[in-house]
Structure 1
Amino acid sequence: MRLFIVAAWGVITGQESVRAAEPAPRPPAFQKMVDCRGVANPVQRLACFDREVA
């Protein structure tokens, strides 16, 4: 029973440390594509997506 408790505690604390870590920054090319979502005009937004993924 003690082994189970110790193992469970290790899993719980291990998951907390993973959640606390900052996510890696997005690559610049991917970020440019994501930024296309902010374009209001649908035609310009599509052109932005096309330009960034080409």
Structure 2
Amino acid sequence: MQTDQLAKAGTKEWIALAVLALPTLLVSMDATVIYLAVPSISAALKATTGRLS
């Protein structure tokens, strides 16, 4: 392969990217849901700051 040619990603590389990106997406979505739900949950349970941690 010459140095002026760029190697293109094949099917295996795209599958590996999807396998790595999917868990990252799920964790970030979970963190967002928890961040948005904590105020409602703490208000419903009348929890103090010490009990939330």
What is the TM-score with the length of structure 2 in the denominator? 0.41
**Higher share in helix:** 1
Q: Which has the higher contact order (CA 8 A, sep 6+)?
A: 1
